[in-house]
């Protein structure tokens, strides 16, 4: 017990380490830098850098790196040694304030979506003091933002920090109206991470898992998840050993790994940390994904973070739990106990309702990837339609406000905001609907659409900015109000009336919801290209520009990168499939059918038997292989045709329509063939081998 407390954050240069290691006034400067965004003087930065270096070297570090998050969605690093020539043939260990604060990076191979050609070729990294430096292996990691020389964001962290500032600015205006001066609002995030653990030997034997992180072929096994015997089941010893080591690694990095359990699909698991501020949460989730893969490897397993590694069982998501709190720890999405607190809660709630309705498309876009397209709307994850679940109690409250009706039935008085106390909303009753993309769960919202492999920066950038916009409008309306109570009441009521179409407590998996959502005018952006087609809509560009989160050029670069990455992912998958089918599947099955003929010939010659199995199996399989071969050619042509499109959106659309369809047809044909082929002949481990191999 004690040991864990000592090991926790032992590799992090956090506030307590800083307090121990920095002179008092330097520490105070650092606090102001972290809490108020005040720039550090170079002389102060030098002192911090030196203390950081001494601490890192004591922990065995030899190098430092500016750690950043390019638009690939993963992290990037380049290590530099602390060594510097001492002048007498030896070395001394050095690390300056300048090196801490800013780094130059050529980084020309990172996707820039045209930004770099428009502006500057080189980029630079800038220290983010709000996320603490840490040690991994023998390297001191310094979290940084990555920008072009013109200041354009080339990464995920810069817009995230900008969006946090935007919501902070607007929430502060609203809080001031409620008499809370000098509080700093901050967004909090806790992300539940789902993943699969597969034996390394099985993965090594499959090109699709090795190259794409998911199976492109694979006949349905006799048993999947239908018995619900894996969900919350006893954790197998090998998995338990993995989880234990992972927790230890995460705890040393100050990551609050808290909950672990088996998930619905065989070989699927989940890890949930305790929430923290959005920025740190995003960094921690990146580290969690990285360490899951590393630790799994040490245990002879592979951690699959793909959204849909296996057909026929659930894929993996990442629930993004989001709220907004004050620096003093008051959760603004907690209803509170007094009428005044309730009024403030209802206003923040309405800000989220309006934001989700107005920017449904952006929320959908923030989770749009080729991998996640397999999940959303597949009756295992929320549909692609964005809607919001509030639970019965809260919905009744909003309805009472909307209709200026009595609530609760007791005193039969009209529900008056700021006068009546709301009932408590127990978590249990607000958490029942698992089919909703965006659910209120007592004192936070849970966005359930993000994919397991994606950075959670994107959904949080959208959420922060969209809610900042609602709060801006609310603050504008309230600041000049003559009668605050009445204006507040009207504002909340008007918002409910205008945006109630986004509220849906029913079953999101039900086919009738699609029709109902259409009737309500909600968007149903089924696939990534269909969603991305809306990224540059005028209202979206205006939103991000107004709040200083993305310039129009930065947003356009994201649009290009996201579409290109969609195309690239599917092209790699399609080509892997063609490779597997042409070079493994077809030759293996052809050899098998030839063997059947030889067997039949020998059996007929020797025993004069009819050989019904051999003959009909050979006929059936030959028919299938011809079909597989033909679809394989069609798939090749579809790739060719799609690549010929000049416009990126058109190319992505062709991939979605033609390539993905041909891949599905090829898979169906191969899977049918696998079911007819002996185990020893089929060139790949089966789904049974893959999903049930870890003990």
275 binds, among ligand ADP, Mg ion, none (CB under 5 to 8 A by kind): ligand ADP
318 contacts Mg ion (rule: CB under 5 A)? no
Token pair belonging to 38: 């005040």
Which residue in this structure is represented by tokens 């603004």? 332
Specify the stretch interacting with ligand ADP by CB under 6 A; choose among 241-249, 273-281, 562-570, 582-590: 273-281
Distance of CA 134 to the CA centre of its chain: 23
Q: Cα(635)–Cα(51) distance, rounded to whole angstroms?
A: 58
For 240-280, give the DSSP string. HHHHHHHHHHHHHTT--EEEEEE-SSTTEEEEEEPPEEHHH
Q: Which of 13, 132, 146, 275 is close enough to bind ligand ADP by CB under 6 A?
A: 275
230 contacts Mg ion (rule: CB under 5 A)? no
Q: Is 597 exposed, middle or buried (0-12, 13-18, 19+ CB in 10 A)?
A: middle
Looking at the Cβ atoms of 299 and 319, the one nearer to Mg ion is: 319
626-665 residues near ligand ADP, rule: CB under 6 A:
none
What does DSSP assign to residue 575?
H
Count of CA atoms in the C-beta half-sphere (13 A) of 85: 3
Task: Report the nearest approach of ligand ADP to the CB of residue 181 (Å).
Answer: 23
Token pair belonging to 472: 């801006």
Task: Report the nearest approach of Mg ion to the CB of residue 356 (Å).
Answer: 17
Specify the stretch interacting with ligand ADP by CB under 6 A; choose among 186-194, 493-501, 534-542, 549-557: 186-194
Q: Which of 230, 284, 319, 654 is close enough to bind ligand ADP by CB under 6 A?
A: 319
Q: How far is CA 465 from CA 220, 366, 403, in A?
A: 43, 12, 30
179-208 residues near Mg ion, rule: CB under 5 A:
192
Looking at the Cβ atoms of 254 and 273, the one nearer to ligand ADP is: 273
* Cβ atoms of residues 116 and 123 within 8 Å: yes
Token pair belonging to 320: 């993004």
Looking at the Cβ atoms of 446 and 614, the one nearer to ligand ADP is: 446
First to last CA, the chain: 28
Task: Annotate each residue in 187-216 with x if it binds ligand ADP (CB under 6 A) or - if it does not, as one string.
Answer: -xxx-x------------------------
Which residue in this structure is represented by tokens 């921690």? 284
Q: Is 89 left (phi over 0), alpha (psi -120 to 50) or beta?
A: left
Spell out the residues 6+ positions from residue 538 whose beta carbon is closer than 8 angstroms to its own: none
Task: Report the nearest approach of ligand ADP to the CB of residue 444 (Å).
Answer: 4
Task: Report the nearest approach of ligand ADP to the CB of residue 325 (Å).
Answer: 6
Q: Which of 53, 308, 319, 364 is close enough to bind Mg ion by CB under 5 A?
A: 319
444 contacts Mg ion (rule: CB under 5 A)? no
Task: Give kind and range of the element (H or E) at residue 425.
Answer: none
Task: Report the nearest approach of ligand ADP to the CB of residue 636 (Å).
Answer: 44
* Cβ atoms of residues 93 and 82 within 8 Å: yes
* Cβ atoms of residues 292 and 359 within 8 Å: no
Looking at the Cβ atoms of 127 and 195, the one nearer to Mg ion is: 195
283 binds, among ligand ADP, Mg ion, none (CB under 5 to 8 A by kind): none
Q: Cα(107)–Cα(1) distance, rounded to whole angstroms?
A: 44
* Cβ atoms of residues 93 and 170 within 8 Å: no
Contacts 24+ apart (CB under 8 A), 397-401: 397/346, 397/422, 397/423, 398/496, 398/500, 398/503, 401/346, 401/492, 401/493, 401/496
Looking at the Cβ atoms of 105 and 276, the one nearer to ligand ADP is: 276
Task: Annotate each residue in 278-317 with x if it binds Mg ion (CB under 5 A) or - if it does not, as one string.
Answer: ----------------------------------------
Task: Report the nearest approach of ligand ADP to the CB of residue 277 (Å).
Answer: 10
Other CB atoms within 10 Å distance of the CB of residue 572: 13
3-state SS, residue 328: coil
For 480-497, give the DSSP string. T-SSHHHHHHHHHHHHHH
Which residue in this structure is represented by tokens 């369809």? 661
Task: Report the nearest approach of Mg ion to the CB of residue 555 (Å).
Answer: 30
For 584-635, give the DSSP string. IIHHHHHHHHHHHHHHHHHHHHHH----HHHHHHHHHHHHHHHHHHHHHHHH
444 binds, among ligand ADP, Mg ion, none (CB under 5 to 8 A by kind): ligand ADP
Q: Cα(97)–Cα(219) distance, rounded to whole angstroms?
A: 58
Spell out the residues 6+ positions from residue 237 whose beta carbon is closer than 8 angstroms to its own: 695
Residue nearest to ligand ADP (CB): 190
Task: Report the nearest approach of ligand ADP to the CB of residue 272 (Å).
Answer: 4
Task: Report the nearest approach of ligand ADP to the CB of residue 357 (Å).
Answer: 21
188 binds, among ligand ADP, Mg ion, none (CB under 5 to 8 A by kind): ligand ADP
472 binds, among ligand ADP, Mg ion, none (CB under 5 to 8 A by kind): none
225 contacts ligand ADP (rule: CB under 6 A)? no
273 contacts ligand ADP (rule: CB under 6 A)? yes
Beta bridge partners of 155: 70
Number of residues that bind ligand ADP (CB under 6 A): 18
324-353 residues near ligand ADP, rule: CB under 6 A:
331
414-453 residues near ligand ADP, rule: CB under 6 A:
431, 443-444, 446
Task: Report the nearest approach of ligand ADP to the CB of residue 190 (Å).
Answer: 3
273 binds, among Mg ion, ligand ADP, none (CB under 5 to 8 A by kind): ligand ADP
214 contacts Mg ion (rule: CB under 5 A)? no
Specify the stretch interacting with ligand ADP by CB under 6 A; choose among 20-28, 267-275, 390-398, 406-414: 267-275
Q: What angle do CA 608, 598, 621 make, to 5 degrees?
A: 110
Task: Report the nearest approach of ligand ADP to the CB of residue 156 (Å).
Answer: 19
Looking at the Cβ atoms of 319 and 667, the one nearer to Mg ion is: 319
323 contacts ligand ADP (rule: CB under 6 A)? yes
Which residues contact Mg ion (rule: CB under 5 A)?
A: 192, 319
Which residues contact ligand ADP (rule: CB under 6 A)?
A: 188-190, 192, 259, 272-275, 319, 321-323, 331, 431, 443-444, 446
């Amino acid at each position: 017990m004690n040991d864990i407390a000592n090991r926790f954050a032992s590799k992090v240069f956090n506030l307590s380490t800083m307090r121990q290691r920095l002179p008092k006034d330097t520490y105070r400067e650092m606090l102001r830098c972290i809490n108020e965004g005040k720039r550090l003087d170079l002389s102060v930065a030098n002192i911090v850098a030196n203390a950081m270096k001494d601490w890192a070297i004591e922990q065995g570090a030899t190098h430092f790196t500016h750690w950043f998050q390019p638009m690939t969605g993963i992290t990037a690093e380049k290590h530099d040694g602390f060594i510097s020539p001492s002048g007498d043939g030896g070395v001394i260990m050095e690390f300056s304030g300048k090196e801490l604060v800013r780094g130059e990076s050529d980084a020309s191979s990172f996707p820039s979506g045209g930004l770099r050609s428009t502006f500057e070729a080189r980029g630079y990294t800038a220290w983010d003091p709000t996320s603490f430096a840490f040690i991994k292996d023998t390297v001191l990691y310094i979290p940084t933002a990555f920008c072009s020389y013109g200041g354009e964001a080339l990464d995920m962290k810069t817009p995230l920090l900008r969006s946090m500032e935007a919501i902070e600015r607007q929430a502060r205006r609203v809080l001031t109206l409620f008499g809370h001066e000098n509080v700093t609002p901050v967004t909090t995030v806790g992300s539940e991470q789902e993943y699969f653990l597969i034996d390394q030997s099985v993965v090594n034997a499959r090109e699709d898992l090795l190259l794409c992180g998911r199976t492109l072929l694979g006949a349905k096994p006799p048993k999947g998840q239908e018995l619900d015997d894996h969900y919350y089941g006893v954790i197998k010893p090998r998995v338990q050993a993995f989880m234990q080591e992972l927790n230890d690694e995460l705890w040393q990095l100050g990551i609050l790994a808290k909950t672990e359990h088996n998930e619905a699909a065989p070989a699927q698991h989940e890890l949930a940390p305790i929430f923290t501020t959005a920025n740190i949460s995003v960094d921690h989730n990146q580290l969690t994904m990285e360490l899951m893969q590393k630790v799994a490897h040490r245990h002879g397993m592979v951690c699959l973070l793909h959204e849909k590694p296996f057909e026929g069982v659930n894929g993996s998501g990442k629930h993004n739990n989001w709220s907004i709190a004050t620096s003093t720890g008051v959760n603004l999405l907690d209803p509170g106990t007094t009428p005044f607190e309730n009024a403030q809660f209802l206003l923040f709630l309405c800000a989220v309702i309006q934001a989700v309705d107005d920017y449904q498309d952006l929320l959908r876009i923030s989770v749009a990837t080729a991998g996640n397209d397999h999940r959303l709307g597949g009756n295992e994850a929320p549909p692609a339609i964005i809607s919001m679940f509030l639970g019965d109690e809260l919905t009744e409250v909003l309805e009472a406000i909307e209709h200026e009706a009595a609530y609760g039935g007791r005193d039969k008085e009209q529900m008056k905001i700021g006068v009546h106390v709301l009932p408590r909303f127990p978590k249990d009753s607000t958490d029942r609907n698992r089919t909703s993309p965006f659910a209120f769960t007592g004192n936070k919202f849970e966005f359930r659409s993000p994919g397991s492999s994606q950075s959670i920066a994107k959904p949080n950038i959208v959420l922060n900015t969209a809610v900042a916009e609602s709060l801006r409008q609310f603050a504008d309306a309230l600041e000049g109000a003559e009668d605050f109570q009445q204006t507040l009441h009207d504002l909340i009521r008007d918002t409910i009336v205008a945006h109630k179409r986004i509220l849906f407590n029913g079953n999101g998996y039900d086919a009738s919801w699609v029709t109902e959502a259409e009737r309500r005018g909600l968007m149903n952006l089924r696939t990534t290209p269909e969603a991305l087609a809306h990224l540059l809509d005028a209202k979206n560009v205006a939103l991000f520009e107004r709040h200083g989160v993305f310039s129009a050029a930065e947003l356009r670069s994201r649009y290009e990168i996201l579409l290109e990455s969609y195309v690239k992912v599917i092209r790699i998958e399609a080509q892997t499939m063609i490779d597997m089918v042409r070079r493994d599947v077809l030759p293996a099955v052809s050899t098998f059918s030839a063997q059947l003929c030889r067997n039949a010939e020998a059996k007929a010659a020797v025993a004069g038997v009819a050989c019904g199995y051999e003959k009909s199996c050979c006929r059936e399989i030959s028919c299938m292989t011809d079909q597989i071969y033909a679809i394989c050619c069609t798939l090749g042509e579809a790739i060719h045709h799609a690549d010929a499109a000049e416009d990126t959106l058109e190319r992505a659309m062709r991939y979605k329509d033609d390539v993905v369809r041909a891949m599905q047809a090829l898979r169906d044909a191969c899977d049918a063939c696998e079911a007819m082929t002996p185990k020893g002949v089929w060139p790949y481990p089966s789904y049974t081998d893959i999903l049930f191999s870890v003990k």
